[in-house]
Amino acid sequence: MINKLYELLETVGFTHPLHPIMVHIPMGMVIGMVLFGVAGIVGKKASLFSTAHHCAVLALLFIVPTLVTGVLDWQAKLGGEWETLIIVKMVLGVVLTGLLTIAVVMKSKGLAPRKLLLLYLLCMACAGGLGFSGGELVYG
């Protein structure tokens, strides 16, 4: 079934993996979340910290299709072979999803901005690990 999807895409000239298209959205939102969070705390501007929260929500919304396309590409392009880097990416993907969920929920419960920023930084660490392991997987 996965191969049928890729075959369909190839009929219209699209031969690339799907995951790289999606991955930039949550990763960019995580970077924005951290930058706006820092700016909100340093500049003492609640509106900037609110924007950090909006970035967290968007990252959480787009992490699911990003993970799904990652699994699809792994199955179709890499044959579903279990490698250490795949396992690392799967673990970090789940951890990032959990951290983003916690950050969004805790913001709605009124967690202090400095404590939220710690969660945002942990998200950034996961995103960095995901990017590094993805780069190693693709480029060696």
Q: For residue 8, is it within any domain?
A: no
Confidence bin at 9 (pLDDT 50/70/90): confident
DSSP letter at 17 equals -
Instruction: Work out the percent of the chain whose per-residue pLDDT is above 90.
Output: 76
| CB-CB contact of 56 with 120 (8 Å) | yes
Q: Which residues constitute the domain of residue 69? A: 21-139
Q: For residue 7, is it within any domain?
A: no
Q: How many domains does the chain have?
A: 1
Q: For residue 5, is it within any domain?
A: no
Instruction: Work out the percent of the chain whose per-residue pLDDT is above 70.
Output: 99
Instruction: Compute how many other C-beta atoms are within 10 angstroms of the C-beta atom of residue 107.
Output: 18
- d(C-alpha 40, C-alpha 37), whole Å: 5
Q: For residue 32, is it within any domain?
A: yes
- 125-137 pLDDT, tens digit per residue, is 999 999 999 999 8
Confidence bin at 37 (pLDDT 50/70/90): very high
Answer yes or no: is pLDDT of 57 > 90: yes
